[in-house]
Amino acid sequence: MKFSIFLLICAAASASATSADAKKPVRPAEPVPVAPASPVATPTTPDVTPGSESTPVPTATPSLSLEPSATPSPSPTPVEPPKPKMTEREMINILSETQVEQAIASLRSNFLDSNKTGDKELRRATLEGLILRLSPGAVLAHEDDLRATSQPATFLAEIIDDRVGYLRPGAIDAESLSQIDAALSNFSEKSLKALILDLRDVSASSDFEKAADFARRFCEKGKLLFSVQKPSAKQERIFTSNMDPAFTGVLVVLTDEDTSGAAEVIAATLRLNANAMIVGTRTSGEAVEFQDTALGDGKILRVAVAQVVLPSSGAIYPNGVTPDIVAGLDPAKQAEIFKLSTEQGVSQFVFEPERPRMNEAALVANTNPEIDAEAFENRNAAPGLKDVVLQRAVDLVTAIRFYGDRAK
């Protein structure tokens, strides 16, 4: 009997405790630390007495995603190339009139030697600056220097590789014109379809009437060649082609920085009116007529008073004629080539000589021409000396003829 009463008391106490626990909120479980080596975290579920109200338990799950970050990394800012440094002339050109006056006033008042910034020196500086800025349209020189002209290259006409005519006039005058006529007649008899006109090392000349005569040999009759304009007097002389051309094939013109005056006018005119291609370097830009003013003591001021203007491309002065294919040759090598070619021709400066080969005669003579360096060098009058500008021209003619033949 006593034991039964004890069991009832224990049961009542247990029910009371259970009711109290049901009214007390359940604390969430602590997140379980995850070992670094474990790819998945397993949550721990707390013990809850059945029948009681349970609260959701947060689960600790570490982020192991390999997806890229939601915030994209900034792209590198492109680095702009540095602007080219302005030249002193370019800086002066963009100064305003006020800035120019301010600069001159500062020089006159602040330069350490006032004698070099006085009125006399400023006038000399003005003259010097004008001549430099107007070059090649203005020259101050001694009359002896102006009279001293370089000896023109000797006229040369040749057939290269039995297929390309080559002309080097040496000068733009009546004598070379008659020689060109004879050479063109010879080329026509041999049915040559390509011609290279070499205007490098041609003596300087402002005889634009002769330049027009040269151009007429290659330009269609009735073409407007160029005009010579004298702005100060509002004068213009117009030159046209009044004859049938003596040559109408592929034409390539060679130029360099010394090609000036009448020679560069011929180059520009033939490109415009005879479809000529120009190979070489930019010409001098001296396609002008000069007027000389004697200053006394043999000093001459030479000033450009008229300029050559082409129908569509405008004036040649002061920028010169830009080649279609740029190719240059060292002046010393060019002078040597011109000197040697006068006596031996230009072909040796275009093609490599054929290397000697072993043959039956060499076997009988117990010699080997393939290793006989001295014999090989003797076959070439100027070993290692090549006219790369002329080589480019010959390559150009070859390419034009090749694709022209294929088109037919």
Q: Which pLDDT score is estimated for 175?
A: 94
pLDDT tens for each residue of 201-245: 899 899 999 999 999 999 999 999 999 999 888 889 999 999 999
* Token digits of residue 111: 């330069």
Considering the entire predicted model, what is its pTM?
Answer: 0.73
The alpha carbon of residue 257 and the mean position of all alpha carbons in its chain are separated, in whole angstroms, by 16
Q: Distance between CA 190 and CA 110 in Å, rounded?
A: 75
Angle between helices 262-273 and 208-216 (to 10 degrees): 30
* Residue 57 pLDDT > 60: no
pLDDT tens for each residue of 240-274: 999 999 999 999 999 999 999 999 999 999 999 99
Asked: is 156-326 a CATH 1.20.120.420 domain? The reply is: no
Asked if 26 and 54 count as a contact pair (C-beta separation under 8 A), the reply is yes
Q: Which pLDDT score is estimated for 154?
A: 87
| Full strand arrangement of the beta sheet holding 156-160 | 156-160, 164-168, 194-198, 250-255, 277-280, 325-326
Residue ranges with strand state E in 276-340: 277-280, 288-296, 299-310, 314-315, 325-326
pLDDT tens for each residue of 62-120: 444 445 555 666 677 777 788 888 999 999 999 999 999 999 999 999 999 999 999 99
Q: Residues spanned by CATH 3.90.226.10 within the chain?
A: 156-326
* Token digits of residue 105: 């006033």
* Residue 346 pLDDT > 60: yes
* Contact partners, residue 103, CB within 8 Å, separation at least 6: 95
Q: Distance between CA 10 and CA 14 in Å, rounded?
A: 6
Q: List residues bridging with 325 in a β-sheet.
A: 279
* Token digits of residue 221: 């009759």
Q: Which pLDDT score is estimated for 351?
A: 87
pLDDT tens for each residue of 139-167: 999 988 887 655 666 899 999 999 999 99
